[in-house]
Amino acid sequence: MKAEEVGVLFRQLEYFVAVAQERHFARAAEQCYVSQPALSAAIAKLERELNVTLIHRGRNFEGLTPEGERLVVWAKRILAEHDAFKAEVRAVRSGITGSLRLGTIPTASTTASLLLSAFCSAHPLAKVQICSRLATTELYRRLRNFELDAAIVHPTSDDSHDVDLVPLYEEQYVVLARVETLPPDASTLTWQDAAQLPLALLTADMRDRQIIDEAFAGHGITVNPQVETDSVASLFAQVATANFACIVPHTWLWMTPTGRGIRAVALVDPAVNVPIAFATNAAGPGSPAARALTACAQRLALHEFFDALL
């Protein structure tokens, strides 16, 4: 196949993946910076060359055919490996460049900066895009679909197939509150003690909140916090400006304004430990940037850094 024909094939696959993702021809054309007729013609040519119908067409996009559903998986992988190959060549010539797409569970969004500090110092031409408001299941889905290069996640047996995991640290839970809200001179608190406090917690759809609820349920307790939020910053603000206590992973403490009347007290009976891992797609070698960030994750002793906070 000639170089020009290879280039045409990659464009056809790019247009087809864009339509599959956008489920709309005009939006896909806009994403690919081409006219809608040009995009439609390229996909029709791909269908003729493969001798299959890939898309159900009516007046609008009506979904992929079974053959289209199969091809979109391969197309995403081919395009991702093509991008990784080009990045590899650029890395040999001038070092790691381009953008690395990193996803994190919300409670690990501040942890990402510790990884990226070392990565960006070593690779000043690289850029990083962080997505920190996705559920663990969605992070794994985007990794497998080559929509993310790496992610910081809760490792789960249900979602982690086709994914390589590097253990980073274990989260432990603490109560964060103003001194006057806590029992005097408390060095630790039980979950029963914590249930008696005026609580502000993460929303029920977030994994850390579900872990917290499970710990309370182990003592037959159901908590109904007066304030719920999906924002880390908002949770801190409730503690700083009101008489609320929150329950957070101890890994937040390095970014938390403790002191000035605010204390963190470890939760015990039981002390809950939740593993956090760095994840990449297991298919192929991956991009140079993803491999470099993986190496940073393996070198950093984050568990020692976070445990010292307690």
Q: Residue 53 and residue 79: Cα distance in Å, rounded?
A: 21
Question: Is the domain of 269 the same as that of 184?
Answer: yes
Q: What is the pLDDT of residue 294?
A: 86
What are the pLDDT digits (tens) for 279-302? 998 877 677 888 888 888 888 888
In a domain, 84, yes or no: no
Two tokens, residue 290: 């993803």
Q: 74: domain CATH number?
A: 1.10.10.10
pLDDT band at 310 (very low <50, low <70, confident <90, very high): low
> For residues 122 and 276, which has the higher predicted lDDT (pLDDT)?
276
pLDDT band at 247 (very low <50, low <70, confident <90, very high): very high
Q: What is the pLDDT of residue 6?
A: 66
Q: 180: domain CATH number?
A: 3.40.190.290
Give the range among 4-18, 109-123, 139-153, 272-286 with minimum mean pLDDT. 4-18
In a domain, 45, yes or no: yes
Question: Is the domain of 46 the same as that of 120?
Answer: no
Question: Is the domain of 210 the same as that of 237?
Answer: yes
In a domain, 9, yes or no: yes
> For residues 85 and 105, which has the higher predicted lDDT (pLDDT)?
105
Q: What is the pLDDT of residue 92?
A: 54
Asked whether residue 162 carries a pLDDT value surpassing 70, the answer given is yes
In a domain, 215, yes or no: yes
Q: What is the pLDDT of residue 198?
A: 93
In a domain, 52, yes or no: yes
Question: Is the domain of 102 the same as that of 123?
Answer: yes
In a domain, 91, yes or no: no
Mean of pLDDT values over 165-186: 88
Q: What is the pLDDT of residue 1?
A: 56
Q: What is the pLDDT of residue 11?
A: 87
Question: Is the domain of 113 the same as that of 233?
Answer: no
Question: Is the domain of 18 the same as that of 162?
Answer: no
Percent of the chain with pLDDT over 70: 93
Q: Residue 256 and residue 259: Cα distance in Å, rounded?
A: 9
Question: Is the domain of 145 the same as that of 211?
Answer: no
pLDDT band at 5 (very low <50, low <70, confident <90, very high): low
Asked whether residue 83 carries a pLDDT value surpassing 90, the answer given is no
pLDDT band at 91 (very low <50, low <70, confident <90, very high): low
Q: 140: domain CATH number?
A: 3.40.190.10
pLDDT band at 217 (very low <50, low <70, confident <90, very high): very high
289 Cβ neighbours under 8 A, 6+ residues apart: 87, 96, 98, 99, 100, 123, 126, 149
Asked whether residue 176 carries a pLDDT value surpassing 80, the answer given is yes
DSSP at 199: B
Question: Is the domain of 106 the same as that of 152?
Answer: yes
Question: Is the domain of 49 the same as that of 192?
Answer: no
177 Cβ neighbours under 8 A, 6+ residues apart: 197, 239, 244, 245, 246, 262, 263, 265
Q: What is the pLDDT of residue 2?
A: 56
Give the count of domains, the chain: 3
In a domain, 83, yes or no: no
Domain boundaries, position 134:
96-169+274-308
In a domain, 89, yes or no: no
| Type of residue found at 264 | A
Asked whether residue 88 carries a pLDDT value surpassing 80, the answer given is no
Question: Is the domain of 215 the same as that of 133?
Answer: no
Question: Is the domain of 229 the same as that of 195?
Answer: yes
Answer whether 148's CB lies under 8 Å from 279's CB: no
Question: Is the domain of 177 the same as that of 268?
Answer: yes
